[in-house]
Structure 1
Amino acid sequence: MTTPLFDITAIAVDRYENFPPLDGVIADAEAIAELLGQVGGVRSTHAKNETWHEAAVKARLRAWTQRDTPSSLLIWLGHGDSNGDKASLACYDTVDPVVANGFNALSMADQLDVDWGRRQEHDAAWALVIVEACSSGDYVKRVAAMVRDDVRQLYLIGVSGDAGAYVGELRQAFGRALARLTPNDEHVVLDDLIHELLSALPDARPEPRQWRRVLLPRARPVAAAVSAPLDVYEELMALLATVPDDQRNHFFPKFWATERVDTGLHFVGRTEEARDIRAWLRSADRGMLVITGRPGSGKSALLGSVLIRSSPLWQPILARFGWTGEPWDDAGPFDTALNLSGLSIAEIVERLTESFGLKPAAEGAGWSGADVDHLIDGLTGRRFTILVDGLDEATDPVAVAGSVLRRLAAQPHGRVLVGTRASVDDQVDGPPPVRPELITALGPAHLRRLGRDRAALAAYVLRRLTHLPHGQRPELTDDEIGRVADLITRGRDDMGFLFARLVVHEVLADPGLVRSQRLTELVSGDHRAVFRHALSRLDRTTPHARALLRVLAFTVGPGMPRSENLWAGLAGAFTDGHQVTEADIDLLLERAAPYVTVDAEYGISVYRLAHQTYRAALEADER
């Protein structure tokens, strides 16, 4: 980012002539500046070990009021004091008592008035002033009372209220707040950061002056949105953290197609099905291959594995995380991959058009179903191979199948590999569908149905319980792990990989489950039964978990945002007046990871229940 969105000026007073030193405040200031760099903040240059005499402080504040960037964060870290009538901050040469001899509230207010004199020329410019010092709450209260009445877009925070301050509190609070962001957050509401700071610092005193909502664009770690259950999301983020930025942002959007992902790290089995797909990719010049099966049968995992096997870039990266698949050097890479979940025909056509480097049908005219013709014309004569998953979750899957995918597969050199349920009526824990309308709409195609693969299920469970980061493997013997795998594979024929993944999560959350009859009872049920077991666990371990999940049960569309306290605020309606905090949401997302999906809408992260069957289980449990 060549032009900063806001300036960061820090006065970190670590050494004093007459008071104890404050080790760590300079490092704190540097860390805060680095954290805020991802939302457009750039720290003003200065010598790190500056001696902050009162004259140096005043010179720095004068320079701050003359900065080139209209908006700014001003941080003061150091000693302070108040006697109930006055409050001041200590400089290097301040003598005792600080209240009488330090940098007083009027001096700070005068600088803020000067700053406003320049800032008011820029309607959207703002100033956030944070003081971490003893009695900083009283100090900012007095500053706020002394600034001019017409000052706008000013927010002051005294980190320690009227009590003592502790070095590191502010840095830790900023770290927690920014750690909650995901790659889906294209921008950050500054008010959210302020709210989270105040939540993390209960003694803090806020003093806003005519403050309006501020939106900060964010430099995302991945230039693509992610939609995935949170356990898969965490695994993906750990994987991407090992990839250089240029490779991450060039290849991730293509190979996981900005949509719901499956890393393929735990994929096992399906040898015959994989062999059929490989043979089709090697020999077919045109047409369509459809991978279908019941919910949770492993369609997405199989397609994720196929994508990895055909991607030379990702194979060595995934190998570091335990991937042991065989590369398909003879099958050729995919030109693009796309998950259709939640997408309309217009959005699908737009994304495919962009993926192939084609120009839109009409610049600035928007997208419609009519642009399918333009896409087909642009691909005429080209060889291409496309992978799409989640057809059954598209906005209008029958129309997508017939109007887009069927036509692409009919091109002289076009190949389309599709993952889908046979019908939109085929739901988790529901009966088999009566009619396969999606298969019919796709037209002539090679069809591969995924049944229950007991051997693969057993291998999958063993892998999930043994291939864990150091220190995370549960205290279970090999025999106990084998019992988990055996019970799952001997269970109901309609319970597949999704069911196994949920049971494994419950075992990891409570290893004692394996040594009791409860495990046998659990695996004899369905996905709803596992979710109800999870609800009971969360009731015991996670404050307000049920209230937070109830909000998601009522959510429609992509999901519920955390932004501006929306999710936590709504959950408070179900807690008999008890406040729900962002920390409560953090715990829920950690402990209920496979049951909650993170997605994106309007450039921010949103959350929803991963499957509608969990909503039904929650509603039934509330009756």
Structure 2
Amino acid sequence: MSAEQVLLMGVARFHSPGATRGEPEPGRTVWKPLAFVSTLMPRLDLAYKNLGYDVVGVPEPDRRAVLIHSDEAIMSGATRIVHVISHGSLAEDLNRSRAAANTEHIHMVPACGQVGNGTNVSHWVSTAHQQPEPTLFVVDLCRAGRAARLSELTRVPDGELNAWVIAATSSDLPAYDGRFSEAVAEVLEQIACHGLDTSPSLRFVRWDRVTRAIQQSLEALGSMQRLHTTPVDVSQELPELPFFPNPRWRHDARLEKLHAVEAPVRAFVADLGAEHFIDRVGDHFVGRQSQLEWLATWLDDHRTGGLRVVTGAPGSGKSALLGALVCAGHEDIISAAPDIRVYLTAQNPDSVCSPNPLLAAIHARGRDLDTILTSLAAQWDRPAEPDRPWTVADLLAEVSALPAAPALVFDALDEAEDPHGLMRSLLLPMAKAVRPDGQPAVRLLVGTRRWGFGPLLDLAGRHEGLLDLDDVPPSEIRKDLRRYMLRRLAALPQYSGPEQRAIRTTLADTVAEALTQNPDHMHEWGPFLVAQIFGQALETLPPAKEIADAAALGASVPRNLPAVLELDVGSRPDNRALRAVLAAAAFAKGDGFPTEVIAAVAPEFAPELLAARTEKPSRAGKDQDLLQRIRMLLEAGSFYLRTGVESDGATLYRLFHQGLADYLQDQPYPVDDTARIEDT
């Protein structure tokens, strides 16, 4: 099957009788040459080809050529984009009165200078809408905005519209010097290079992201033009438009299904490190088996109390513990990624809860009460009323009428928009609510740090429902840490061979022993988080060759988060810049920062990021160089990052653990060498 096509037509020189006879004939306009077209056509041709299109280039078409090529493109079904560069003609240009003109019509002026049948771009748009496949018109003409705002198409829902327009300017203003097409070419080249940082889960770059980038490129070129586009309904989600293929897209049916899961639920998959369960074995959840068994049994037993709270130091494993329960029991995640449940079951079937259609999950990071109530109502399949937001009382009344009490796993309370307000207005009333038969209205499991949430922790403690991970015996934590390190080392090529077995065992034993030998200090940061980062550092540290070397290396593991983070990042190439990028991501809220925001923040923590050399003298060139460097650093620091998707399709970045974010917010600037290695 041949590639989809782009029709690219541009006119630089115009034949006009007026040019040779001194005065234009009635009904004729003298069209000035457009010298920039001959430069832009080859650049656009290459830019579209780099996106995978076959390009039908038509330079200097006369009226007949415009008619034939435009008709073939619109009717063929194979042409996805029509891009034209020329003068734009209105009825006034033909010496017709405004009363006789159609204010929505705009003609592309062909090389012969004669507009008429086949040159009406507005008619092309209207005709394309009737075709079964969508077509995009990129219109670089004076007053091109007329083609973008056809009254007959304004009432068509976005999802049913098959003709889309990006126009160089408004319906009454000129376009200048091909700046619009130059901006389009710039953005097409960026899409081919990095997809405008669109999430790999999306096959196409989103419409709003492309049009915004074109306008920004226009402004960087010094143009005052404001492009006009097909208007969209901002209250509705845009359809997937197949015009700009995303080069970062990975065809992964499971990831696509996971990204369709509600964001407050999907976050549990990320916190478990399970988005790539097959590809990243070393990061898989292990340990905490007795705690998992206790909570999984409680989730399945409706006769026991209605509240459980999991707390502990940063890095103690609260989110991973709750993530394992949600990924094993939430039916949306089981449907999208059944291998996660299979993996957890293979570790220990007793620690896996049953699939539960009434299990809801909320990861509260950056979310407010209204967002949480809306998500809960959707997960419990409660009917919504237009223009009437949910209240806590209304939702509890609805769920109390369900045949059985639903379950809710609510994590990261301390990271919510208003954590103490949520505790008072939602979680405490939910924990105390009862059904008509006297049973709890909701079976509620909450994960949070302990500070500031005394009423909730006390309520759980009075009913033997409080699990403090810092109270787990050091011997049990040591056993779990050893298992984790053995799995991590087995995934590293320098430790995976049969001859390294004794070295693996010694290294895992000594790391687990070192991280648990001082229980009071151990609970300051959480040994699992420290072990996870030390496992990452082992990828770049010189490997132990002998058992004695392994013992020494394991005993050298830093005992706290700052020290182990500085150890790993400090051993990386370009470590100051990498640290600055991670520090910028530490300030992200909700699902994260897009690349351009990290690029705006990171130079504050490493000014040398702004010193990137560029052959382009323009500010736009320097900005693109900085963005490209930030992309490379984000890739280098991917271990520390989790990603989300912005409403416009952009990839969002945040640190994978709140403990890391807390430390880097407090210490965003590089520490000196003494502080870096000090193990306080």
Question: Is TM > 0.5 for Structure 1 vs Structure 2?
Answer: yes
* 1:593 aligned residue (611, 615, 638): 638
CA contact (8 A) 1:358 1:378 kept: yes
Matches within 5 A, 1:72-221: 115-116=141-142, 119-122=145-148, 125-127=165-167, 149=175, 154-156=180-182, 174-178=192-196, 180-181=198-199, 188-190=208-210, 210-212=225-227
CA contact (8 A) 1:531 1:614 kept: no
* 1:463 aligned residue (484, 487, 497): 487
Following superposition, the deviation at residue 595 of structure 1 comes to 3.2
* 1:497 aligned residue (517, 520, 528): 528
Sort the Cα spacing of 1:318 and 1:559 in 2 relative to 1 into closer, same or farther, 3 A. Answer: closer
Structure 1 gap ranges (5+)? 1-6, 13-24, 34-42, 77-104, 129-146, 161-168, 199-204, 222-233, 426-434
Aligned partners of 1:51, 1:325: CA distance in 2, in Å? 60
Number of the residue aligned with 1:271: 289
Matches within 5 A, 1:84-483: 115-116=141-142, 119-122=145-148, 125-127=165-167, 149=175, 154-156=180-182, 174-178=192-196, 180-181=198-199, 188-190=208-210, 210-212=225-227, 241-243=252-254, 248=258, 256=266, 261-263=271-273, 265=277, 266-285=284-303, 287-310=306-329, 313=335, 316-318=338-340, 324-326=346-348, 331-333=354-356, 334-360=358-384, 363-366=386-389, 371-382=391-402, 383=404, 384-409=406-431, 410-411=433-434, 412-424=439-451, 436=454, 438-440=456-458, 444-445=462-463, 446-450=465-469, 451=472, 452=474, 453-467=477-491, 477-483=500-506
Following superposition, the deviation at residue 290 of structure 1 comes to 2.2
CA contact (8 A) 2:581 2:602 kept: yes
Number of the residue aligned with 1:3: none
Aligned partners of 2:540, 2:214: CA distance in 1, in Å? 33
Letter in 2 for 1:486: D
Following superposition, the deviation at residue 277 of structure 1 comes to 1.9
Number of the residue aligned with 1:578: 611
Give per-residue Cα distances to partners, 1:203-239, cap 9 Å, x unaligned: xx97967145989976689xxxxxxxxxxxx9xx98x
Sort the Cα spacing of 1:481 and 1:602 in 2 relative to 1 into closer, same or farther, 3 A. Answer: same
Number of the residue aligned with 2:23: none
Aligned partners of 2:6, 2:224: CA distance in 1, in Å? 20
Aligned partners of 1:151, 1:122: CA distance in 2, in Å? 21
* CA-based RMSD: 5.3
Number of the residue aligned with 2:30: none
* 1:486 aligned residue (491, 499, 509): 509
Aligned partners of 1:344, 1:268: CA distance in 2, in Å? 31
Aligned partners of 2:253, 2:56: CA distance in 1, in Å? 37
Sort the Cα spacing of 1:486 and 1:244 in 2 relative to 1 into closer, same or farther, 3 A. Answer: closer
CA contact (8 A) 2:396 2:430 kept: yes
Following superposition, the deviation at residue 356 of structure 1 comes to 1.8
Give per-residue Cα distances to partners, 1:42-93, cap 9 Å, x unaligned: x8xxxx7979798697567655998999xx96579xxxxxxxxxxxxxxxxx
Following superposition, the deviation at residue 379 of structure 1 comes to 1.1
User: Secondary structure of the equivalent of 2:426?
Assistant: helix
Aligned partners of 2:75, 2:597: CA distance in 1, in Å? 35
Aligned partners of 1:316, 1:256: CA distance in 2, in Å? 14
CA contact (8 A) 1:189 1:213 kept: no
Structure 2 gap ranges (5+)? 10-43, 85-109, 120-137, 150-163, 242-247, 278-283, 613-624, 676-680
- TM-score between both structures, scaled by the size of structure 1: 0.63
1:9 aligns with 2:6: yes
Letter in 2 for 1:536: G
- TM-score between both structures, scaled by the size of structure 2: 0.58
Number of the residue aligned with 2:101: none
Aligned partners of 1:340, 1:405: CA distance in 2, in Å? 12
Following superposition, the deviation at residue 400 of structure 1 comes to 2.5
* 1:612 aligned residue (652, 662, 668): 662
Give per-residue Cα distances to partners, 1:569-602, cap 9 Å, x unaligned: 4444542541462222222222223434445666
Sort the Cα spacing of 1:11 and 1:65 in 2 relative to 1 into closer, same or farther, 3 A. Answer: closer
Number of the residue aligned with 1:431: none
Aligned partners of 1:192, 1:320: CA distance in 2, in Å? 43
Following superposition, the deviation at residue 114 of structure 1 comes to 8.0
Give per-residue Cα distances to partners, 1:122-159, cap 9 Å, x unaligned: 3695258xxxxxxxxxxxxxxxxxx9656998232697
CA contact (8 A) 1:402 1:443 kept: no
CA contact (8 A) 1:561 1:567 kept: yes
User: Secondary structure of the equivalent of 1:156?
Assistant: helix
1:530 aligns with 2:564: yes
Number of aligned residue pairs: 498
Compare the two structures and name the one with the higher helix fraction.
2
CA contact (8 A) 1:597 1:608 kept: yes
- By relative contact order (CA 8 Å, sep 6+), the higher-ranking structure is 1
User: Secondary structure of the equivalent of 1:154?
Assistant: helix
CA contact (8 A) 1:159 1:170 kept: yes
CA contact (8 A) 1:268 1:456 kept: yes
Aligned partners of 2:181, 2:58: CA distance in 1, in Å? 24
Following superposition, the deviation at residue 439 of structure 1 comes to 0.7
User: Secondary structure of the equivalent of 2:254?
Assistant: coil
Aligned partners of 1:320, 1:541: CA distance in 2, in Å? 40
Aligned partners of 1:244, 1:595: CA distance in 2, in Å? 20
CA contact (8 A) 1:339 1:390 kept: yes
Following superposition, the deviation at residue 331 of structure 1 comes to 3.6
Number of the residue aligned with 2:577: 544
Sort the Cα spacing of 1:339 and 1:194 in 2 relative to 1 into closer, same or farther, 3 A. Answer: same
Following superposition, the deviation at residue 491 of structure 1 comes to 1.9
Aligned partners of 1:284, 1:359: CA distance in 2, in Å? 25
Aligned partners of 1:585, 1:413: CA distance in 2, in Å? 50
Number of the residue aligned with 2:154: none
Aligned partners of 1:107, 1:478: CA distance in 2, in Å? 80
Sort the Cα spacing of 1:491 and 1:148 in 2 relative to 1 into closer, same or farther, 3 A. Answer: same
Sort the Cα spacing of 1:398 and 1:261 in 2 relative to 1 into closer, same or farther, 3 A. Answer: same
